[in-house]
Amino acid sequence: MKIVVPIKRVLDPYAKVKPGSDGMSIDSGGAKSEINPFDEIALEEAVRLREKVGAVEIIVVAIGPAESEEQLRKALAMGADKAVLIETTTSPDSRAVALELESFVREQNPDLVLMGKQATDDDSNQVGQILAARLGWPQATFASEVTPGSGSLTVIRETDTGTETLQIQLPAVVTADLRLNEPRYIALPGIIKARSKPLEKRAPATALQSFVTVTGFTAPPARKAGKRVANVEELIAELKAAGSI
Amino acid sequence: MGKSLFLSLDGTDLAVGAAVAANFAEAFDVIVLTSTVNDSFGAEKVMATGWASLPPAAAYAGELAKLATGYARVFAVSAMWSKDLLPRAAGVADAACVTDVLSIESDTRFTRPMYAGAIVATVEVSAPQTWFTFRPVGFPAVSDAGASVPTETVAIQVDDSAVRNIGTRAKEGGRPDLSAAKVVVSGGRPLKDAASFERVIGGLADALGGAVGATRAAVDAGIAANELQVGQTGKIVAPDLYIAAGISGSTQHMAGIKDSKLIVAINTDGDAPIFSIADLGLVGDLYEVLPVLERELKKA
Ligand SMILES: Cc1cc2nc3c(=O)[nH]c(=O)nc-3n(C[C@H](O)[C@H](O)[C@H](O)COP(=O)(O)OP(=O)(O)OC[C@H]3O[C@@H](n4cnc5c(N)ncnc54)[C@H](O)[C@@H]3O)c2cc1C
Ligand SMILES: Nc1ncnc2c1ncn2[C@@H]1O[C@H](COP(=O)(O)O)[C@@H](O)[C@H]1O
C-alpha cells in the first residue's frame, strides 16, 4: 500500500498573530513554523496503518518555500519514507494547491491520500475535497477513525449532528479531524535516521494559478473585557438588567 | 452578474440564504436538499431533491456541479456538510471556492477569517463561477417569507458505488441546535466526567432553554460529544447569551464565540484569558456557581 501525505508549513497555531502595519502581511511576533497540526495527525495515521497492515510506503509532499524542508525532515523522523518539496515562494489558493497535488498524485499513483482537513493559517478546509474531485476519487472528510479493509477503508467521520460511518473504495482521499489520533513524540533515533532518508526538491508542475487572491488583512472587531461580578446574585441581577434572562 | 443558487439543507436556513442573495443584483433559485418548503423568501424557483438524508458528498457533487452550470455563484451556510460538499462540487466545476464568508463587499470581493479568527482577510475572486459558504452572523435573516411557491422536484443522481454510508449516529434531540440557539452554556476541561458535564452544564442549559457546547479539551477527554465542540475547528456560535464555565479562553475556542451578544465567564482563575472578552465575569468554582444559578432561574 502506498500513501501520500501532503504537509503544509504553517505558523505555530498557538502564536499570537495580527495584521502587519501595511495591511498586506501577517505579524507573528517572530513565532516559529510547524507542520500544520492536522497534517501531523494525518501522518501519524499513515504510520499507524503501516503498523497495522505491514507493507506501507509513506510519501510526504509539501508545496511551499525552501524552509518547508524543516517540516519534511520532521515528517521523515515521524516515519515517512520519502519526502518531496515542491518549491514556490508564492501563496497559491486551495484550488491551485489541489491542482499541483493532483499532478503529484497522478505521478505517484498511491492507494490513499491522507491529509489534514484544514490548514490552521488560511482555515480554508478545501484542498482535500478539490483534490478528490479532480482525481474522481471518493472522499471521507473530517475522519475520526480509520479501519483498513481489503481494497477499502471504513471511516468514521464527524458531522454536524454526530458521526457517520462510510465505507470507501480505494484509491481515496481521507482528511483528518483532531480526534483521529494523538501524534507520537519523535524519539532521537528517528531524527538521526531521517537524515539519511531521501528528500527531493523540484519545481511546480502546474502554473499554481489562483482563482482567489488575498488583497488585504485587517483585525477583527475587538471585544472589550466587561464587568466583574462578586457573586451569583450580582450575576443574575446583571443578566436581568441586560435582558438576557 | 448572473443568477445565484442557494443550497439549503432543510429549508430552515432559507431566510438567511435570502439575505445573502440580496447582496447580488440578479435573482436567486434554491435547492432544498433534505426537505421541502412552503415560502420562497423571494427566490425565483425552489427545487427539492426528495431525499430524506444527505448522501455522501462524493456520490452526488458531480451531478450537483452539472446542475449548477449557468449560475454565477452557489452558496450555503458554513457547516460541516457544506464544507464537505461545496469544495468538491467546485472542484468538479473548476470554479473558485471561498469558505466562511463574513461579508460581501462586491460581486467578486468577500471577507473571511484566517488564523482562528485573529485576522480578517479580504479576498478577490476571478473565475467564471464561485462557490462559497458563509457565516450567518453577518447576514440578518430577511423577515419577508415571500409568496408560497410550489417546489419543483429536481432529480440529482446518487452514485454510491465507491462510497457508502453504513451507519449514522446523531445526537439525541431535546435541546436546541447549537449553531442556531439563543442561549449556549459551554463547559471545559475541569468537568470531571460525562455525568457531571450533563448534570452541571446540561442542567443550566435546560433551565435557560439553551444548547450545550464544549471545548476541545472536554471533547477529547470524552466528557462531551464531538458535535458539541465550539471553536476554530468546531461550531461557530453567535447566541444572545454564551456562558463559558471552566474554559480558559484559548484563541481557538474564542474564534467560535466572538460574535455572541453577551458572554459570561465563570472561572476559578481570575487571570484566565476568557475574562478579556467576557461582558460579565465571575471568579468562582463552577461546581458551586452553576447549580445556584440553575436553582435561581427555576425559581424565577
Ligand atoms: C489546531 C487546533 C485547533 C483547535 N480547535 C479548538 C476548537 O475548535 N475549540 C476549542 O475549544 N479548542 C480548540 N483547540 C484547543 C485549544 O487550544 C485549547 O487547548 C482548549 O480550548 C482548552 O480547553 P479548556 O478551556 O476546556 O481547558 P483549559 O485550557 O485547561 O482551561 C480550563 C479552565 O478551567 C478553569 N477551572 C479549573 N477548575 C475550575 C472550576 N472548578 N471552576 C471554574 N473554572 C475552573 C481553569 O482556571 C482554566 O482556565 C484547538 C487547538 C489546536 C492546536
Ligand atoms: N502548500 C501545501 N502543501 C502541501 N499540502 C497542503 C498545502 N496547502 C494545503 N495542503 C493540504 O491541504 C489540507 C487542507 O488545507 P486547506 O484547504 O488550505 O485548509 C492541509 O491540511 C494539507 O494537508
**Residue A30 pLDDT:** 94
A36: left (phi over 0), alpha (psi -120 to 50) or beta: beta
CB pair distance less than 8 Å for B227 and A18: no
Range of the domain at A171: 2-241
Contact A95 B96 (CB under 8 A): yes
Q: What is the mean pLDDT of residues A143-162?
A: 96
Q: Where do the CATH 3.40.50.1220 domains begin and end in chain B?
A: 183-299
Cβ separation of B170 and A162 shorter than 8 Å?
Answer: yes
Among B114, B127, B169, select the one facing A123 at the smallest CB separation.
B114
**B 83-122 residues with CB below 8 A of A?**
83-92, 94-100, 109, 111, 113-122
Q: What is the CATH number of the domain that holds A121?
A: 3.40.50.620
CA of B116 to the centre of ligand 1 (A): 15
Ligand 1 centroid from CA B217, angstroms: 5
Q: What is the pLDDT of residues B202-215, one digit of tens each?
A: 999 999 999 999 99
Chain B neighbors of A128, CB-CB under 8 A: 87
- Euclidean distance between CA atoms B20 and B48, whole angstroms: 20
Class of domain B183-299: alpha beta
Residue B104 forms beta bridges with which residues? B110
Residue range(s) occupied by CATH 3.40.50.620 in chain B: 4-153
Confidence of residue B274 (pLDDT cuts 50, 70, 90): very high
Residue whose CA is closest, atom 47 of ligand 1?
B269
- Which one of the ligands is nearest to B265 CA? 1
pLDDT for res A142: 98
Residue A41 pLDDT greater than 80, yes or no: yes
- Model pLDDT, residue A245: 87
- Quickly state the pLDDT bin for B171 (edges 50, 70, 90): confident
**pLDDT-derived band at B263, boundaries 50, 70, 90:** very high
What's the one-letter identity of residue A119?
A
| Element spanning B218, H or E | helix B216-220
ipTM value for the complex: 0.97
| CA distances, B130 to each of A90, B127, B136, B270 (Å) | 22, 7, 18, 46
Asked if B117 and A220 come within 8 Å (Cβ–Cβ), the reply is yes
Asked if the model's pLDDT at residue B172 lies above 80, the reply is no
Mutate to test the pocket of ligand 2, among A4, A7, A8 (most ligand atoms within 8 A of CB): A8
List phi, psi (to 5°) of B63.
-65, -40
Contacts of B91 in chain A (CB under 8 A): 95, 98, 129-134
Cα B274 to middle of ligand 1, angstroms: 10
Question: Average pLDDT of A49-53?
Answer: 95
Residue A135, helix vs strand vs coil: helix
Cα–Cα distance, A10 to A12 (Å, whole number): 6
Mean pLDDT along residues B92-110: 98
The DSSP result for B160-214, as a single string, is -SSEEEEEEEE--SSSPPTTT-SEEEEE-TT--SHHHIIIIIIHHHHHTT-EEEE
Q: Which tens digit of pLDDT belongs to each residue from A99-152?
A: 999 999 999 999 999 999 999 999 999 999 999 999 999 999 999 999 999 999
Mutation pick from B98, B119, B219, B254 vs chain A, by most beta carbons of A within 10 Å, is B119
**pLDDT value at residue B174:** 82
3 state SS of A75: helix
Q: If you measure CA to CA, which chain B residue comes closest to A172? A: B162
How far is the C-alpha of B181 from the C-alpha of B183, rounded, in Å? 5
Q: Which CATH architecture has domain B4-153?
A: 3-Layer(aba) Sandwich (3.40)
* Residue contact B226–A238, C-beta within 8 A: no
What pLDDT, on a 0 to 100 scale, did the predictor assign at position B298? 87
Q: Is A184 exposed, middle or buried (0-12, 13-18, 19+ CB in 10 A)?
A: middle
A187: pLDDT confidence band, cut at 50, 70 and 90? confident
pLDDT of residue B173: 74
Q: How far is the CA of A39 from the centre of ligand 2 (A)?
A: 8
Instruction: Provide the strand spans (E) within chain A.
Output: 2-6, 9-11, 18-19, 26-27, 33-35, 57-64, 82-87, 112-116, 139-148, 152-158, 162-169, 172-176, 199-202, 212-218, 227-229
Q: B92 and A177 in contact by Cβ < 8 A? A: no
- Residue A206: its chain B contacts at CB < 8 A? none
Closest atom of ligand 2 relative to the A6 alpha carbon: 5
Whether the predicted pLDDT of B300 surpasses 80: no
Domain count, chain A: 1
A98: closest chain B residue by CA: B91
Res A189: pLDDT: 86
Q: Provide the percentage of residues in chain B whose pLDDT is more than 90.
A: 94
Nearest residue (CA) to ligand 1, atom 28: B248
> How many whole angstroms from B83 Cα to the centroid of ligand 2?
15
Which residue type occupies B157? Q
pLDDT above 80 for B120: yes
